[in-house]
Amino acid sequence: MSIKHLSTPSVSEIEAEDKEQVSVACAHLAQHEVVAIPTETVYGLAADATSDLAVAKIYAVKNRPLFNPLILHTYSIERALEIGVFSTSVEIFASKIWAPTQHKSVTLVVPLRQTDMFKLATAGLSTVGIRIPNHPVTSELLRSYPNPLAAPSANISTQISATNADIVRKSLGNKVAHIIDGGQCKVGLESTIIDASVEPYTVLRLGGASIDDIADMLGYFPQVVPLGSAIKAPGMQKRHYAPSIPLYTDQIDSAEGEAFLGFGEYDKGPYNLSLSGNLVEAAANLFRLLSELDDSTRFSAIKVAPIPHIGLGNAINDRLSRASSTE
């Protein structure tokens, strides 16, 4: 069966200064360096996925366990097919989720095409997570650089993900060779990771694409793999995305010296994920606000208001659950 792919997210005409940033980033990547890149989800720490030296630098910068695999980023389904083995059904699904008119922030885990490739980036697994980000500057970077980029979130492992370049600078400083400033991330949560290596598909990590949207495209609701399962993709550790001070979920009040992160009607100050109770807005604001509140000189703890367990609220609660875990 021949599958006609819709064109992948198009690259709008980017500014001259963005083209210069892409050129600088390509030069650093070619020297096995790590650069921070913007995506629609969160900022990533990118390195040449074919270079074990470069990938090792990602692990070092993030202080990331080597058993936690990295997602490979590319710019088209055709390029993704060179990296992983896509069955006909997976290829059809990929054409839907990565179509420009309805692009979803999804990473697909599929069998690795060449098992001797990307050993360090895949943590030695026979599967690989692949994603096509939807950001014009990073799309241009991926088209300009010859190899796929391994790119986990741009933060110290287990800490809060960065949703703008200022947060990257604050958390990583001079640990990366270059930071591409692509503005504030629109989604604000990492991609949803779907294991498409076997059928029926399962969700390994909740994220920026809702289960409802995925079910509409699949024709069924995929099972969500529980926390603590064998690590097959990034973000599966129970403790993940955590601030340095204690965090408590489903709170309606806070004590003196504690920060309160509100949502909707639960509003007690300047920090609110969404005054209107909009889950998309809350997702986009989550990591930025957690970064602001992660300050032991001002607060002893972070109390987070109840978030409904619907739509993107499931992914937000998943992040908060990991952030509040002591394991």
pTM score of the predicted model: 0.80
% of the chain at pLDDT higher than 70: 90
Element (H, E) at 55: helix 52-62
pLDDT in tens, 15-67: 888 999 999 999 999 999 999 999 999 999 999 999 988 998 998 888 776 55
275, 267 Cβ separation under 8 angstroms:
yes
Q: Two tokens at 259?
A: 């920060």
Mean pLDDT rounded to a whole number for the chain: 89
Lowest mean pLDDT among 227-236, 265-274, 297-306: 227-236
75, 130 Cβ separation under 8 angstroms:
no
Q: How many CA atoms lie within 13 A of 20 on its CB side?
A: 3
106, 95 Cβ separation under 8 angstroms:
no
DSSP E strands, the chain: 35-37, 44-48, 71-73, 106-111, 127-131, 149-150, 178-179, 192-195, 202-205, 223-224, 247-248, 258-261, 301-304
What CA–CA distances, in Å, run from 275 to 208, 266, 267, 282, 290?
20, 8, 7, 9, 16
pLDDT at residue 9 greater than cutoff 60: no
Can you list the domains of the chain with their CATH numbers? 16-224 (3.90.870.10), 247-324 (no CATH)
pLDDT at residue 276 greater than cutoff 60: yes
